[in-house]
Chains A and B, each alone.
Chain A
């Protein structure tokens, strides 16, 4: 029940494409859903986060879509650029608990020029 399942494992798109990464969770106590971006040799960095009281959040070229009834959320990257090539992790936490993050397995994105 603590798992967050993420797909696909890897993704290749052309510059300007719109990669979509999907995550699903089971624990209905989760109330905070961040996405992290990680470059090789670096720690993860927060990209964008959403709470379940909204169905969509947009920050720049990054959009989270959230479906509370299906317990699914996804990341869309508009007008993707080669610099977006990185590993993306979805996560979930229960802010009423310790706030520890439960991470998905990660998606390696390659954006070809």
Chain B
């Protein structure tokens, strides 16, 4: 595809359920980032993948959050036992390597609503 794609675009779930959010980065981009955008807030870094290196998980808010990246391409963000405060837009971005001079291209996001 031409850009970063994310699915689903919207997800409504009940408190306590697990959810999986998917990100397809731009082909050839080795760096992948997940961010969270809460209502009226800026974007908050969650996790970073670079090639086969160990991911930087420093932004994950709790151990209910995890992510993986298979084959250096597609990434899945999993939230276990969802809480209402998890409601937000989850954004994925990719870049050629790491963002210094390399632009991060964002997907359209997945809007998660936890009832």
| Chain A contact residues, CB within 8 Å of chain B | 6, 31-32, 34, 36, 41-46, 49, 51, 89, 91, 93, 95-96, 98-106
**B65-115: which residues lie under 8 A (CB-CB) from chain A?**
91, 93, 95, 98-109
Bound-state Cα–Cα, A46 to B33, Å: 15
Output the least CB separation between A7 and chain B (Å): 12
Complex interface: chain A residues within 8 A of B44 (CB):
103
In the complex, A43 Cα to B105 Cα: how many Å? 9
Which secondary structure characterizes the binding site on chain A?
Answer: loop
A-contacting residues, B30-47, CB 8 Å: 31, 33, 35, 40-45
5 residue pairs, one from A and one from B, having the closest CB atoms: A95-B100, A43-B106, A99-B99, A99-B98, A103-B42
How many chain B residues touch the partner (CB < 8 A)? Answer: 29
B105 contacts which chain A residues (CB < 8 A)?
Answer: 46
Binding site for A on B (CB under 8 A): 4, 31, 33, 35, 40-45, 48, 50, 56, 59, 91, 93, 95, 98-109
For residue B25, give the distance in angstroms from its CB to the closest CB of chain A.
Answer: 13
A-B contact pairs, 19 of them (CB 8 A): A31-B100, A34-B103, A36-B106, A43-B4, A43-B91, A43-B106, A43-B108, A43-B109, A44-B43, A91-B43, A93-B100, A98-B48, A99-B104, A100-B48, A101-B35, A103-B35, A103-B42, A103-B43, A105-B42
**B3 CB → nearest A CB, Å:** 9
Least CB distance from A80 to B in Å reads 22
Would you call A99 and B31 a contact (CB within 8 A)? yes
CA distance A41 to B41 in the complex (A): 15
